[in-house]
Amino acid sequence: MGNRNAAALLSTYAAAVAVFVSMLAAAPAQADAPIGGTSKPVGGDQGAAVLSQINATRIANGCGPVVANPQLTASAARQADDMLENGVQGHTGSDGSSVVQRLKDAGYVSYTKFGEIIFWSTGPGATPAASAVAWWMNSPPHRAIITDCELTDAGFSAVSSGDKITVAGDFGKK
């Protein structure tokens, strides 16, 4: 009986993750008023810091590390910049682009699996890497992407303007 319950729970979890991933490409755009200003990379190469923390988290959860991929980094940078510059608060870009379109535009094609995680924050004193990873790990859909052992590639971008910070991460498997 225990195996049957575990199998049912696993099927339910897998279905929920599949629905979430499919929603990423179809999510409607949500935008606040434009933020304005010029975005700039957050000091100290926070994209690399996020990757390092993600890999430590994956290892702690029984997965191998993801490998930094420049195409996924470009896709993540496009979304992080768009979130900051245009007030986008979702996975659809201000230009209507989906995660799939941004991956394609960045040259990451022929993948078998992907996922995107995003984070934004305002206020002084936030460390983008620590804040983003902590928030993602407390969000079941984001945690599911981070701890998906099948995902092997990733790219992250963290940008800021004033006291606003956005972080985007794209994962994939070819």
The CATH number of the domain where 116 resides is what?
A: 3.40.33.10
18 within some domain: no
Instruction: Give the residue numbers spanning the domain of 115.
Output: 65-173
30 within some domain: no
101 within some domain: yes
Q: Is the pLDDT of residue 92 over 50?
A: yes
> For the whole model, what pTM was predicted?
0.74
| pLDDT value of position 125 | 67
4 within some domain: no
- Ordered DSSP codes for the chain: -HHHHHHHHHHHHHHHHHHHHHHHHHPPP-B-S---S--EEPTTTHHHHHHHHHHHHHHHTT-PPPEE-HHHHHHHHHHHHHHHHH-B-SSS-TTS--HHHHHHHTT--S-SEEEEEEEEEESTT--HHHHHHHHHHTSHHHHHHHT-TT--EEEEEEEEETTEEEEEEEEEE-
| pLDDT value of position 162 | 84
9 within some domain: no
37 within some domain: no
Domain count, the chain: 1
Average pLDDT, integer, range 16-41: 33
53 within some domain: no
32 within some domain: no
- How do residues 95-142 score in pLDDT, each as one tens digit? 999 999 999 999 999 999 999 999 998 877 667 788 899 999 999 999
Q: Is the pLDDT of residue 16 over 60?
A: no
